[in-house]
Structure 1
Amino acid sequence: MTGSIITEVLLPLALAFIMFGMGLSLTRFDFLRLWQTPAPIVAGFVGQIIALPLLAFGICVAMDLSTPMAVGLMILAACPGGTTSNVVSHLAKANLALSVSLTAISSIVCVLTAPFVIQFSLSHFANSANGAPIDVSLSSISLGLLVITLLPIVFGMLARSYFRDWAIKVEVYFRRFALVFLLLMIIGVVIKEHAIIVEAFNEVFIACLLLNFGAMFIGVISAKLLALSHKDTLTLAIEIGLQNSTMAMLICISLLQAPSYAVVAGVYSLTMYAGAGLLIAYASYIRSDKHTAVQAQTRDSR
């Protein structure tokens, strides 16, 4: 009974709370950028919604991942970028406005796209494996994502529009809660699925790194093809490369009732910081190199 209350009530409520906090950081101007700067928005959207699931599927097939690992990786790829990507964009001094816009848009659109990716991965990997097939309703997944992600974001945006000062003041606490909750989720998954993690850690670790770095590469290539600025290139790499692992774990545990699928998201929650750290370090190096060049040019002009 306790487990049921936790997985069916408390965990979804916690995610809804986090998404409400994301809504507090959004305004209608974040969506107006769709028309003002469409190229990076479209590139990020295509990268997250289309290219990333295809990349995950390729990794699953190439590595011949076990059913829980393959389905878990596909679910992770179906999820949008989370608030972590916005924090990393801020630290890397990327285009924060673009980052927030992409996070908001992908969080909304994933309510429509993620159920199809999840149903495909279950039918392809789980139902073809030994054991009873898993029958999950597409409508139930869509409804669940609508209730725990989209509606809280909308309510958060409404609260921001009517109580702006309060929203700005408390939004940081929602971010802190999101971090603490993610850590608790990781600990919970590690404890519950310890045997699977020990047995398949190398497999999962490599798959997560490939997804992380492959997704960042997609972001960089997309930006280069569109001749975007360095800031926008960095932002796309971050947004496509960092997924909302908290949402992925919640989908596995609460909507699918399959904690073993959440192992990938738990491991990814740790490995994604490797890519994020490299991006931040690279951005810092580029800034310092440009600063040195400007100083040298100034001395020469004198």
Structure 2
Amino acid sequence: MTASVLTQGLLPLAIALIMFGMGLSLTMTDFTRLFRWPKAMVLGLIGQILLLPLMALLISVALDLPPAMAIGLMILSACPGGTTSNVISQLSRANLALSVTLTGLSTLICLLSTPLIIQWSLNHFSSDNPVAFSLLTTTVGLSALTLLPLALGMWVNRHWVVSAQKIEPIFRRFSAIFMVLMIAGILWQERQMLSQSFSDMFLACVLLNFTSVACAVLLSRLGGLSKQDALTLCIEIGIQNATLAILIAMTFLNRPDLAVAAGVYGVTMYLGAGFIVLWAKWPNKQLSAVSIKPRP
């Protein structure tokens, strides 16, 4: 993989196409569902925006990860959920509308929160060897590569609904295939570093995945959410946009080594959510950790 060609051309273009595809599945109604599921929406955003970075920080400190791994894990935790979480929600019969809405809202919020978390992480973990980072450039870059294509996709969906519904699955498949290729490429490019620290990085990513799902279960229990909404939160908080984390590390920071965490997490992030989905589908079983209460 040639870093210059990838970071300057293919990767940003692919992210823009993925976000455009996400926009094709969104309408303005999706962003007004906050009033339909206020409790689930707020709890999901708390888990995604606040608790996930906190868990990444605690894991980095507890495992005494090297700066590159810790920063990479923080970058990953600061990214919103991606279209993959929507696909898994659909396959597992979770609340797809809630999943799509959480993905859309977290993407908008992360335009502000992600650069701030990254800047703090760089200052905290790489004080002896600072990494060049511009808060303004990153915010503007993320907006150009995520918000604008997302808005364009929504505009197409509004004016040409039938066409949008036909081509949206194509972009969804492209998103999945590209993420797999990117993860494989990153792991291969950084194979030497990975071979030296695989056990720590793998453990950190697995811990982040399972603690994020555990946080989702706890939030669902505290909020008295239905089984379907609880399952949705587990998927949304446990599945991260690893491709976006790779983009930030390789394009904005020009540090492929910081993308290793996203590459490893891209492989492990299905573990925690997968167990929850299997348990939810088990005959005559319920998510015992989640209190199921009827909606008023």
State if a TM-score over 0.5 links the two structures: yes
d(CA) in 2 for partners of 1:276, 1:237 = 6
Q: Confirm or deny that 1:9 pairs with 2:18.
A: no
| Letter matched to residue 241 of structure 2 | N
Is 1:120 aligned to 2:120, yes or no?
Answer: yes
Give the TM-score taking structure 2 as reference length: 0.94
- Alpha-carbon distance in structure 2 between the residues aligned to 1:284 and 1:91: 11
1:5 deviates by: 3.4
- Give the CA deviation at 1:91: 1.6
Partner of 2:22: 22
SS in 1 for 2:32: helix
In the alignment, is the contact (CA less than 8 A) between 1:18 and 1:174 conserved in 2? yes
Deviates more, 1:276-285 or 1:36-45: 276-285
By percentage of residues, which structure has more helix? 1
1:4-40 superposed Cα distances (whole Å, 9 cap, x missing partner): 2321222101101001000001011111111122110
Give the secondary structure class of the aligned counterpart of 2:163: helix
Task: Select the residue among 230, 250, 253 that pairs with 1:256.
Answer: 253
Report what 1:175 is aligned to: 172
Mapped partners of 2:121, 2:67: distance in 1: 9
Q: Tell me by how many angstroms 1:123 deviates.
A: 0.7
- Residues 158-169 of structure 1 correspond to what in structure 2 (within 5 A)? 158-169=155-166
Superposed CA deviations along residues 219-258 of structure 1, whole A, max 9, x for unmatched, are: 1111111111111111111111111101101111111100
Distance in 2 separating the partners of 1:145 and 1:283:
35
Taking structure 1 as the reference length, what is the TM-score of the superposition?
0.92
The 5 A counterparts of 1:1-302 are 3-128=3-128, 132-285=129-282, 288-289=283-284
Q: Separation in 2 of the partners of 1:92 and 1:173?
A: 20
- Partner Cα separation in structure 1 for residue 189 and residue 127 of structure 2: 24
**Alignment-mate amino acid for residue 166 of structure 1:** S
User: Which residue does 1:300 correspond to in 2?
Assistant: none
Aligned residue identity for 2:100? V
Separation in structure 1 between the aligned mates of residue 218 and residue 186 of structure 2, nearest angstrom: 34
| Aligned residues: CA RMSD | 1.3
Q: Give the Cα separation in 2 of the matches to 1:164 and 1:37.
A: 25
Aligned-partner Cα distance in 2 for 1:90–1:6: 31
Can you give the 5+ residue segments of structure 2 that lack an aligned partner in the other structure? 287-296
- Give the Å deviation of 1:266: 0.4
Amino acid at match of 1:31: F
Contact kept, 8 Å, 1:47 with 1:219, in 2: the verdict is: yes
Q: Which amino acid aligns with 2:133?
A: V
Equivalences, count: 285
Q: Is the 8 A contact 1:93 1:283 kept in 2?
A: no
% of aligned pairs identical?
Answer: 50
Q: Indicate conservation of the 8 Å contact 1:81/1:239, yes or no.
A: yes
Per the alignment, residue 298 of structure 1 pairs with none
Q: Any stretches of 5+ residues in structure 1 without a counterpart?
A: 292-302
Cα offset, 1:290, TM superposition:
6.0
The structural deviation recorded for 1:127 is 2.1
**Alpha-carbon distance between aligned partners in 2 of 1:290 and 1:198, rounded to the nearest angstrom:** 41
Kept after mapping to 2: 8 A contact 1:92/1:279: no
Q: Which structure has the larger Rg?
A: 1
Quick one: which amino acid aligns to residue 198 of structure 1?
S
User: Distance between the aligned counterparts of 2:103 and 2:16, measured in 1?
Assistant: 15
Give 4+ residue runs of structure 1 displaced > 2 Å after superposition. 2-6
